[in-house]
Chains A and B, each alone.
Chain A
């Protein structure tokens, strides 16, 4: 192994350089979040005081906004709904994408590339175009105003990207391993379940995280298909109940934003390494 050309001093300087340059990014990324947290803990009088310092809490931290959020609105129900919808929609998309992705990556049959193109084109269709006709379909299926409406429609924008990503990932798995298994008498399905999937775990984790994020944050469909307060998602519920025409409950709004972000942040931090390596193979080889 060739020894490092740069000495210890140079390495130290370069790492300080690295951190110093990272600082603006971290500040830029975190600053609004910090502001959201501060606002959620400030009392209203100080918030609307033109002379107050926006970054600090000068008149004492209050828990009132969180209290209002948790006890006077159905926030916990909405969080529960969001969780159920995200898990269900992501799982459904995952299954569909794994099957489709494997098929497009590995199998040969007529129309394979046409179908691949169709999947990709689906991605180009903007949700704002689709949601009015989709609301009709949702009614026909009898799932209007229920969380099922979202569970069924969210995969429409998750599946294209996930399929494409998993396609790339599956292609990196050596054919020989699969062919060995087939020769040994395993069925195709067994090959997928026992051989291919375990090797594609990073890609699967990546797709899951991506799906979870998009479904958790989605707004338009959730707003249109669901009216009952008990069925709303976290994002829609917070913006609906805490903005009353010309009165914004800023403190509670920001509290809602903070709390609604927590689950995803936790998941991301736990699985970040998988996420990075999952995207690698998919993106590079895709």
Chain B
């Protein structure tokens, strides 16, 4: 740490120039710390906090796209809570997110373990498995939509060919449970690589000694998994489940392209309903209220999961 100016004066040395004094001031931990977070802070205040504030204002007013609104308090929230379409959306969101995340966790874990064990063609296989995550969602979902099309569905064609179902096969995007299944399938398809790769990273970091010790103790494959792998993976798993839940709850593209919320609103999520009501329909106040509903739910989910992580 540089010496203070008074000491130097007392020693008869020339006072450091202004530039040096600025530099010294900057070197202090708290000044340096604040200056480093300044860009992020600016970004958040200007481009997140302010629009977020505006969105809250919208939700508390009766703004429509063409006209400014007046403050109406919580009326929008009361309206949507009583609306059957919104209730259906809440139900859909929970079903969609829980099933998708569970599937992604279980399949992702298994996939990560498989990737961990393969030695040949590692790069190629890992690349292939990563592909769904990497292709632009807007475009890959279009391909899936074509694959589920009522007339030309490749999925049906294959299943009929394999003898699993009879012609003409289910109308995937037109029936309640099938549509939800289709939407979940596409979400899992896209999200699986994210899970697998992060868990794989966690697997890679587990020291071999633990496994070898377990083997010496006579543990079989399942025993090793339960006592070594799983506990050591818990922090990684918890984190990736957390982020995946957030992503999945707020999903927009998949439902928008595949079903636009149908059939009869059985696949609407918060984001798609908010878009439909607020932007296409013009009722910005209600649209914002629907969007904002996500926030406390997410915060609650995050809070629960973070407490779990902190405890470990």
Is B146 a contact of A107 with CB atoms below 8 Å?
no
> Chain B contact residues (Cβ within 8 angstroms of A): what range?
35 or more
A193 at the binding interface (Cβ < 8 Å):
no
Give the total of A residues in contact with B, Cβ under 8 Å: 96
Structural contact, A14 and B47, CB atoms closer than 8 A: no
Closest to B115 in A: A22
A119 CB contacts on chain B under 8 angstroms: 40, 44
Among B29, B40, B154, which residue has its beta carbon within 8 angstroms of that of A54?
Answer: B154
CB distance from B76 to the nearest CB of A (A): 14
Known: A25-B111, A103-B33, A268-B127. A129 touches B52 (CB 8 A): yes
Contact A118 B44 (CB under 8 A): yes
Q: Collect the chain B residues with CB atoms within 8 Å of residue A110's CB.
A: 30
Binds A, one of B80-88, B132-140, B176-184, B259-267: B132-140
Q: Is B109 an interface residue (CB 8 A)?
A: no
Q: Is B70 part of the contact surface with A, judged by Cβ < 8 Å?
A: no
Chain A residue nearest in CB terms to B124: A269
Q: Which of B9-17, B94-102, B189-197 contacts A (4 or more CB under 8 A)?
A: B189-197
A265 at the interface (CB under 8 A from B): yes
Query: Is B90 part of the binding interface, using a Cβ–Cβ cutoff of 8 Å?
Result: no
Assess whether B137 is in contact with A188, with CB atoms less than 8 Å apart. Answer: no
Which residues does A use to contact B, with CB under 8 Å? 2, 5, 14-15, 18-19, 21-22, 25-26, 28-30, 32-33, 35-36, 39, 48, 50, 54-55, 95-97, 99-100, 102-104, 107-110, 112, 115, 118-130, 132-134, 136-137, 152-153, 155-156, 159, 161, 163, 182, 187-188, 213, 216-217, 219-220, 234-236, 238-239, 250, 253-254, 256-257, 260-261, 264-265, 268-269, 272, 275-281, 283-284, 286
B binding-site residues for A, Cβ under 8 Å: 1, 23, 26-27, 29-30, 32-34, 36-37, 39-41, 43-44, 46-48, 50-52, 54-55, 58, 107, 110-111, 114-115, 117-119, 123, 125-140, 142-144, 146-147, 151-152, 154, 157, 189, 192-193, 197-198, 200-202, 204-205, 212, 215-216, 235-236, 239-240, 243, 246, 250, 252-253, 270-271, 274-275, 278-279, 284, 288, 291-292, 294-295, 298-299, 302
